[in-house]
Amino acid sequence: AASARTPPPTDLSMESDALLDALRAAVGPAHVLTAADGADLVAYEQDWRRRHRGRARCVVRPANTAEVAAVVRLCAAHDVPIVPQGGNTGLVVGGVPNASGTQVVLSLQRLNRVRALDVDNLTLTVEAGCVLQAAQQAAQAAGLWLPLSLASEGSCTIGGNLATNAGGTQVLRFGNARDLCLGLEVVTADAQIWDGLSALRKDNTGYDLRHLFIGSEGTLGIITAAVLKLFPQPAARLTAWASVPSLAAAVALLGLAQQALGPALTGFEAMNAFAMQLVARHFPALRPPLPDAAPYAVLLEVSDSESEAHARERLHATLADAIARGSVLDAVVAQSLAQAQALWHIRESIPLAQAQEGLNIKHDISVPVSRIPAFCAEAEALLQQAVPGARLVNFGHLGDGNLHFNVQCPPGADPAAFLAAHEAAINTLVFDTVRRYGGSISAEHGIGGLKADLLPRYKDAVALDLMRRLKQALDPRGLLNPGRVLTAGG
Ligand code: FAD
């Protein structure tokens, strides 16, 4: 359950703590932070949405893989659980400690080096704490492209991206973080270092272990470095904004654009009118380029290997065809990089605008693209029956069948009271509908601590059993991020 309470302070300085002394010896005293020493731990103990504040026994900031292994060894020797943490931008309470005061937060932020960039092999080897934007910039400096892009890219880390198998805006063409990763270096629960930093695109020598750790949310091992795929920079990237009369029309536009543009279509995002209104209310400088009276707007991105003129011609032709068919009401194509960035800024500001509006209920769901219109119609009708006036902020990576089907309280209602009264029922209503439509209750944010209780209701029982067996095999003492993804009993 959600808790915004600040836990009571504990005077750890009174404790004779052999673990703390050993950790200080391993990583240097300046890199073991405790509340008792006066360190402000809020950035490590509180989740991005500020709905959960835990309490860490300490925060440890190792500088390299050997130090990470030393921290894991020491924590295991003292039977102390570890919560790995990158940029702490996760949205499912996976990277912050619980309220017990017993867990060690292992921050990877100091492992932030770019280890290698191989232009001919099109690969980048980076440490886990490298901020995504820094990794993108390293690729760009070599004239290459790392096509992983999320609104949190200025803070989230490569380790966190892989641990959550992050999605973002380029999944349509390049896949999730998993699809961009060729190799991993991992510290295991028994403090071994697995050097799996393969830069190979073909390697069928047994089980592909990297895929176990990708998306495991810190519960199976600690990612310390990765080899990522790079791509040539496109000759031109163009962004268009289209008003559409309905979600069904947005899906029709997606089909049309895929057919006409093929792999050049690299992004396809949708947002409902209320999402745009929230952005305009809280960030008045961010105005949609077309009147937001249409029920939905779509953002299309085209990455063309030939030229800007070629891209523009194809994009204009596609949009004109869509207007003729009635899938698009009106459209504009950005004329400059600054205009394109301004359009993306509107889309990427929706989560912040929601936060400014007040506490809300987030659902990061996916259903097959073809079923999105029917799913949304049914779920919205059920929502209005359950809580008349509840406001739907529906937006996301429509091209991947992934929507953030979020709910704000009715106008004038108290957001906290709304959540207390309705959150559980609305979650059940939305997730049960997702299940009926063959979807997933977590498309890209993961399970963390927020949805671990829900997993047994929505995950296939055999899959869940296999997951538990993997956890038992790789972390038999349950010291890595306990209670996340899998609950003790569930
Ligand atoms: P953290 O939040 O620190 O950790 C996330 C999880 O990974 C935790 O369970 C943690 O224990 C584990 N972990 C972190 N580092 C490691 C490691 N090195 N080894 C093992 N486990 C580790 N997500 C998307 O997928 N797509 C989006 O489009 C998207 N947009 C976002 C927009 C905003 C404004 C915000 C705030 C978040 C968004 N997110 C999105 C969610 C979040 O940014 C991603 O989940 C991101 O990948 C988390 O990276 P991080 O470094 O912040 O990880």
The CATH number that applies at residue 16 is: 3.30.43.10
> Which whole number is the average pLDDT over 137-153?
96
CA of 484 to the centre of ligand 1 (A): 14
How do residues 415-474 score in pLDDT, each as one tens digit? 999 999 999 999 999 999 999 999 999 999 999 999 999 999 999 999 999 999 999 999
Domain span holding position 180: 114-232
Q: Which of 72, 89, 210 to mutate to test the pocket of ligand 1 (most atoms within 8 A of CB)?
A: 89
377 inside domain: yes
Co-location of 147 and 245 in the same domain: no
380 inside domain: yes
Co-location of 223 and 243 in the same domain: no
Percent of the chain with pLDDT over 70: 96
Report the mean per-residue pLDDT for the chain. 94
**Which ipTM value was assigned to this complex?**
0.99
CA of 151 to the centre of ligand 1 (A): 11
Report how far apart, in Å, the C-alpha atoms of 388 and of each of 299, 314, 360, 408, 438 are.
Answer: 30, 44, 16, 12, 27
Encode 204-216 in three state secondary structure: CCCCCCHHHHCCC
How do residues 301-311 score in pLDDT, each as one tens digit? 999 999 999 99
Co-location of 245 and 330 in the same domain: yes
Alpha-carbon torsion, ordered 359, 48, 487, 8, to 10 deg = -90
Atom from ligand 1 closest to the CA of residue 157: 51
Checking if the pLDDT of 20 tops 70, the result is: yes
The residue ranking higher by pLDDT, 401 or 16, is: 401
Domain boundary among 232, 259, 286: 232
Co-location of 362 and 337 in the same domain: no
Whole-structure pTM value:
0.93
At 442 the pLDDT is 97
Question: How many domains does one find in the chain?
Answer: 5
Co-location of 382 and 312 in the same domain: no
Instruction: Give the residue, by CA position, lying nearest to ligand 1 atom 49.
Output: 160
Co-location of 422 and 371 in the same domain: yes
Domain boundary among 54, 83, 107: 107
Ligand 1 pocket: which residues have CB below 6 Å? 48, 83-91, 94-95, 108, 128, 150-152, 156-157, 159-161, 163-164, 166-168, 217-218, 222-223, 351, 444-445, 448, 481, 484
Co-location of 118 and 78 in the same domain: no
Co-location of 142 and 217 in the same domain: yes
Task: Determine which helix (DSSP H) or strand (DSSP E) holds 135, and give its type and residue range.
Answer: helix 132-141
4 inside domain: no
Pairing of strands 103-107, 82-85: parallel
Whole-number Å distance between alpha carbons of 353 and 153:
18
5 inside domain: no
Atom from ligand 1 closest to the CA of residue 169: 28
Co-location of 87 and 103 in the same domain: yes
Co-location of 128 and 207 in the same domain: yes
Instruction: Give the residue, by CA position, lying nearest to ligand 1 atom 42.
Output: 90
444 inside domain: no
Percent of the chain with pLDDT over 90: 93
Checking if the pLDDT of 2 tops 50, the result is: no
Confidence label for 291 from pLDDT (cuts 50, 70 and 90) = confident
What SS3 state is found at 44?
A: helix
C-alpha closest to that of 109 among 178, 60, 54: 60
Domain boundary among 232, 257, 285: 232
At 69 the pLDDT is 98
335-355 as b/e: b if 16+ CB within 10 A = eeeeebebbbebbbbbbebbe
172-203 as b/e: b if 16+ CB within 10 A = bbbbbbeebbbbbbbbbbebebeebbebeeee
Whole-number Å distance between alpha carbons of 29 and 41:
16
Co-location of 400 and 474 in the same domain: no
Checking if the pLDDT of 275 tops 70, the result is: yes
Supply 483's token pair.
């209670």
CA of 59 to the centre of ligand 1 (A): 18
135 inside domain: yes
Co-location of 228 and 254 in the same domain: no
6 inside domain: no
